[in-house]
Each structure stands twice: as C-alpha cells, then as structure tokens.
C-alpha cells in the first residue's frame, strides 16, 4: 500500500472443503446487502516495533460483491477498502462470527507517497550562515524529502532545484557540490 492511495483486498468466505460459504437462514441462502448484515469484522492496526498493535485504522469500508453461482445462490464475497496515511506496517485480521480467519494477522507494508516540496525539510548551517574551513567558506544544508502526509520518503533520486545567491555583489561564482545520499 502507498500513503494516501486507496487500497483494497477481497475476502471470499468458503467452508472447510473449499466450497463457497453461504449464510443460510431458514434453509435459504441469505444475501448480505448492507454492511450491518455481514457476519464478519475487519481490524486493521498499526504494527508497533515490538510487534504489538497500535492505533486502529479508521475509515475501513466493506462492500458485498455477491457473485452469481447459479440457481439464485450467491457466493459470500466482499471487498475491503482502506487508506493509510502513515508509513510502516499494518496488521490485518478478519474475523467471521468472532473467529479469526488467519492464525496470525496478515502484514501490509505502507510506503511513503510521492515527494511533496511543501512537507520536505531543509536543515543545516548553509541556510543561515557558515564559517571558514581552511581557505574556503563552506556552507552545507540537507534536504529531507517527505510526502504529503509528512512521512520521510527514504528513496532518494528526487529532482530538486537549489538557487544560491552570493551574499555580496562582488562575488561572481559560487562552487557547489550536490550529492544524493539515496535516503530521501
């Protein structure tokens, strides 16, 4: 998943023999039209560094995608939509009638979105001034590329433009060394 982009996955309920699982009510297959009638819950949490669960992701939507099987029966198929705005790892657990679908939660890695100049950060002594080092006046600064949700991109290779203006009118040239550290 990528920060800010909608992501989705499908859940298809099957019995222990691999047959499409239908919810039967009074001997008839029931169709789940409203999310309140879906006999499952989806929990998506941030995964903490110690492996525990952090905040639960809000805004997870589930929609029924019944697939015609013949004779009016429908497979219990659902599409789960979510958006993440923080880089890291998410833990996904699906429960059906209170029982976990997976023995352990599934992991989803969320990467940073595209670089945003608005949230990227410049730092270093070259932004405000510098001192003499040997016979040269050295100034340096770093750019940390961040996405629209203030996550470090940690990719490198973004295109940046820096304009250096001499402090006095007598200086005609400024020697510049630019290097990509490859870490955003």
The pLDDT value recorded for residue 89 is: 93
The pLDDT confidence band at residue 49, using thresholds 50, 70 and 90, is confident
Q: pLDDT by residue (tens digit) across 153-177?
A: 987 778 877 777 666 667 666 667 7
| Contacting residues for 23 by C-beta, under 8 A, at least 6 apart | 29, 30, 32, 39, 76
Task: Tell me what pLDDT residue 84 has.
Answer: 92
Q: What is the pTM of this model?
A: 0.69
The answer to which of 47-51, 109-113, 128-132, 161-165 has the lowest mean pLDDT is 128-132
Average pLDDT over residues 46-67: 81
Residue 132's pLDDT band (boundaries 50, 70, 90)? low
Check pLDDT > 80 for residue 40.
Answer: no
In DSSP notation, 13-53 reads -B-TTSPBP-EEETTEEE---SGGG-SEEEEEEEEPTTS-E
For 68-84, how does the pLDDT look when each residue is reduced to its tens digit (9 = 90+)? 555 555 567 778 899 99
Mean pLDDT for the chain overall: 76
| Spatial contact of 11 and 64, defined as CB atoms under 8 Å apart | no
Residue pair 87/108 in contact by the 8 Å Cβ criterion = no
C-alpha 14/C-alpha 95 separation (Å) is 13
What is the reported pLDDT for 68? 52
In angstroms, the CA 43 to CA 54 distance is: 12
């Amino acid at each position: 998943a990528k920060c800010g982009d909608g992501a989705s996955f499908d859940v298809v309920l099957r019995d222990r023999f691999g047959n499409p699982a239908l919810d039967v009510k009074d001997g008839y297959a029931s169709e789940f039209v409203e999310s309140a009638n879906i006999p499952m819950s989806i929990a998506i949490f941030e995964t903490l560094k110690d492996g525990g669960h952090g905040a639960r992701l809000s805004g997870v939507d589930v929609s029924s995608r019944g697939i015609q099987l013949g004779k009016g029966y429908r497979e219990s198929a659902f599409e789960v939509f979510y958006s993440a705005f923080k880089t890291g790892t998410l833990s996904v657990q699906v429960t059906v009638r209170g029982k976990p679908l997976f023995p352990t939660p599934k992991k989803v890695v969320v990467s940073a979105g595209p670089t945003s100049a608005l949230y990227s950060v410049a730092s270093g002594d070259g932004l405000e001034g510098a001192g003499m080092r040997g016979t040269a006046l050295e100034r340096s600064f770093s750019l940390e590329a961040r996405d629209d949700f203030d996550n470090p991109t940690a990719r490198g290779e973004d295109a940046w433009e820096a304009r250096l203006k001499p402090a006095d009118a007598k200086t005609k040239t400024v020697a510049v060394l630019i290097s990509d550290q490859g870490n955003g």
